[in-house]
Amino acid sequence: MKTYPTEKIRNIVLLGAPSSGKTTLAEAMLFEGKVIDRRGSVEAKNTASDNTELEQTYQRSIYSTVLAAEFMERKLNFIDTPGSDDFSGGVFSAFKVCDTGVMLVNAQSGMEVGTEIFARYADQHHKPLIVAINQLDSEKADYEASVASLREAFGKRVVQVQYPLATGAGFDGFVDVLKMKMYKFKGDTGQREELEIPGGAEMERAVALNQVLVEAAAEYDETLMELFFEKGTLDDEEIRRGLRTGMKNRDVMPVFCLSAKKDIGVKRLMEFIINVAPSPEKARVYKTVDEEVVPCDPAAAPSLFIFKTAAEQHVGELCYFRVMSGKIAEGTDLVNANNDSKERITQLFAPAGKNRMKVAEMEAGDIGCTVKLKSSHVNHTLNGGGKTWKLYPITFPQPKFRTAIKPKNLAEEEKLGEALNRMRQEDPTILVEYSKELKQTIVSGQGEHHINILKRNLSSLYKIEVDLINPKIPYRETITKVAAADYRHKKQSGGAGQFGEVHLVIEPHEEGAPDPKTFKVDGREITLNVRGKDEYALDWGGKLVFYNCIVGGAVDARFLPAILKGIMEKMEDGPLTGSYARDIRVAVYDGKMHPVDSNEISFKLAGRNAFKDAFRKACPKIMEPIYAVEVLVPADCMGDVMSDLQNRRGIIEGMGSEKNFEQVKARVPLAEMNKYSTTLSSLTSGRATYTMSFIEYQQVPPDVQEKLLKEHVETDKDE
């Protein structure tokens, strides 16, 4: 493939709900661009996009696929993305490097869940959208209903550029009201005949829609508005100019007619993209984390941004990138701004699925891939010419589903860790962490299906069989009143023995409270003489305040660190359920030691057990993590969603509206959010989405605490 200048490049992302036909459209576009000489199909499992065994098995896109075609002396880069929100990471990475979205709508369904969700994502990323109503050759296709559902969702932004002459099996052409021509197709070869629009009702309809299109084009450009008032109309190029401005501001969504399967309308859509969609230097401005603009200029220093990686057998790791600035050629030396490693571009390709076309050079704005980079991954910026640009990383959606994972064969734990690490690099929406607190490896993703695919890949690609289990909840333990305890550790087994005795009092820690002086505990008064105070901010939140109140040398000062260590160990393994303890003040005020048998281990054990006894007497409480949950849901499902949240011990805190959705805000315990994404999808037929973020810890209700204590006792018995 030849090198294309920046102004002759277009970068497009294909969006839409599952089964809207993105992969079939991508295949037709490759055919029209003469990259392939025969179109494959999803059913035949031979498309350029869905080329993995997993995608062919499920007959749907799971990974985003980067493709390229030459058309009208231009280069068209386009990314086919998954339709399921469970795999939306590919959409977010595509938005980072593409300038325009093509939203496919299934003519049999109109506005669907995916249409709503991906349109919202496009708005979040400030991307203009072109709408293509696809599958107009299907028996149940309804063009008018599809347009009506789009208008209901997006209002006057929806502007028809085409309408079909007929739908269903008879769909073989459409009227284009921008060019004011009729296009007829024979068979499924993509060959078209350009005809004049017949007179009568057909012409009247075309003229009326052309007038709407002209007015929409003129509305967003003052010069065009003046021309429109002067002439009463606009020519083709003037309409394109107005649509270009309206699309850039996301005020216009042009609508096209398609049968991607029969290659009807694909070439006309590609022509519109070439003529109206912005080239890279006229699209968005890219800034570094230091707010410096990276010029989309082939004459500037070379720079590229990696937005996707994929491992391929016999090839290694492929890095997909957009050239942000300058020119990239084979042999170009670059420095990774994220880790300072040096990289050389040894090979340069224009990708078309698994096929890769060799390229000598790529200019600013182009999308390509390379192999054998040593230390560069997703979200890394590589520069030449002494530049240190580091672009803002892709902001991937927060995970919605979490599970614990462990290998069936415990000897494969290290192997599992390495495999998860590699999978995380390829799919940054997978989060992996080992929780020392929970003693579990936690994997988080976008949904249950997302995690099930991960499990399947571990089995098929890495030969590791795993179990997915419910993750434990990071509870906290604390106390609500004052308590005192003492403990003597005494052990004699021939020779030197062990002896240590510790007396202490504990109370809840409250920020800003004065130091303790006297306590009345169990009918007796304890007077404290504070000689030393240490305050520890705990890694898991909250504090431990430790007071040395020993007088008269009852316990040597050298044993105090051992007492503290014993207390801290018990706080890491709470007395109630083994969860972390927090927000406690401990005052050690007395004790005994032996001139020969006392040592650090004796006082560590004495301190640990005295603290444990006092804790159990101090009216202990279990605290649970509370999350702020925000759900965007269609109005007709709102009641079911609110009822479900309340059944999860959630407290509804507010309601509102946002872009055709109702918004529900609630506080919900993390313990009740297990598999919520699956339940929400079931309640709303996949039409709702949600986010959640940690707020605070609060005490669990008494019945929940009793249940947790019983569970812990049973677990201890099992162990």
CATH code of 670's domain = 3.30.70.240
Is the residue at 679 inside a domain?
yes
The one-letter code for the residue type at 631 is: V
List Cα–Cα distances, 176 to 100, 148, 188, 197, 619, in angstroms: 21, 19, 19, 9, 77
CA dist., res. 123 & res. 172, Å (int): 33
CA dist., res. 65 & res. 571, Å (int): 50
Answer yes or no: do 261 and 304 share one domain.
no
Residue 611: φ, ψ to 5°: -65, -45
Answer yes or no: do 68 and 175 share one domain.
yes
β-partners of residue 664 are: 631, 655
CA dist., res. 516 & res. 121, Å (int): 55
Helices of type H across 220-283? 222-231, 236-248, 266-276
- What CATH number did the domain enclosing 131 receive? 3.40.50.300
| N residues, the chain | 719
- What CATH number did the domain enclosing 354 receive? 2.40.30.10
Which residues have a Cβ under 8 Å from the Cβ of 669 and sit 6 or more positions away?
A: 624, 625, 626, 627, 648, 649, 650, 700
pLDDT of residue 363: 97
CA angle, 461 as apex, 456 and 464 as ends, to 5°?
70
Answer yes or no: do 119 and 257 share one domain.
yes
Q: Which domain holds residue 328?
A: 295-383
Answer yes or no: do 35 and 139 share one domain.
yes
List Cα–Cα distances, 571 to 437, 538, 578, in angstroms: 12, 10, 9
Answer yes or no: do 85 and 190 share one domain.
yes
List Cα–Cα distances, 652 to 245, 424, 628, 647, in angstroms: 42, 35, 10, 11
Considering 282, 306, 337, which residue would you say is the last residue of a domain?
282
Q: Is 643 exposed, middle or buried, given 0-12, 13-18 or 19+ CB atoms closer than 10 A?
A: exposed
- What CATH number did the domain enclosing 526 receive? 3.30.230.10
CB contact at 8 A, 607 and 565: yes
Answer yes or no: do 193 and 65 share one domain.
yes
CB contact at 8 A, 655 and 663: yes
Is the residue at 278 inside a domain?
yes
Instruction: Please state the domain count of the chain.
Output: 5
Answer yes or no: do 570 and 646 share one domain.
no
3-state secondary structure of 146: helix
Answer yes or no: do 464 and 516 share one domain.
no
List Cα–Cα distances, 76 to 110, 191, 241, in angstroms: 27, 20, 20
Considering 619, 653, 674, which residue would you say is the last residue of a domain?
619
DSSP 268: H
The stretches in the chain having pLDDT less than 70 are 494-495, 659-660, 715-719
- Can you read off the two tokens belonging to residue 561? 């660190």
Answer yes or no: do 589 and 458 share one domain.
no
pLDDT of residue 719: 44
Residue 204: φ, ψ to 5°: -60, -45
CA angle, 443 as apex, 442 and 446 as ends, to 5°?
140
Which residues have a Cβ under 8 Å from the Cβ of 657 and sit 6 or more positions away?
A: 663
CB contact at 8 A, 134 and 103: no
User: pTM score, two decimals?
Assistant: 0.85
**Cα torsion through 273, 274, 277, 283, rounded to 10:** 140
pLDDT of residue 686: 79
Strands (DSSP E) contained in 459-497 are: 466-469, 476-478, 483-491
Is the residue at 290 inside a domain?
no
3-state secondary structure of 128: coil
Answer yes or no: do 80 and 180 share one domain.
yes
CB contact at 8 A, 12 and 79: yes
pLDDT of residue 715: 65
Radius of gyration of the chain (CA): 33
SS3 percent helix, strand, coil of the chain, rounded to 5, is: 30, 30, 35
pLDDT of residue 229: 86
For residue range 410-455, what is the model confidence (pLDDT) as tens digits? 999 999 999 999 899 889 999 999 998 899 999 999 999 999 999 9
Answer yes or no: do 541 and 567 share one domain.
yes
CA dist., res. 459 & res. 443, Å (int): 16
Answer yes or no: do 646 and 612 share one domain.
no
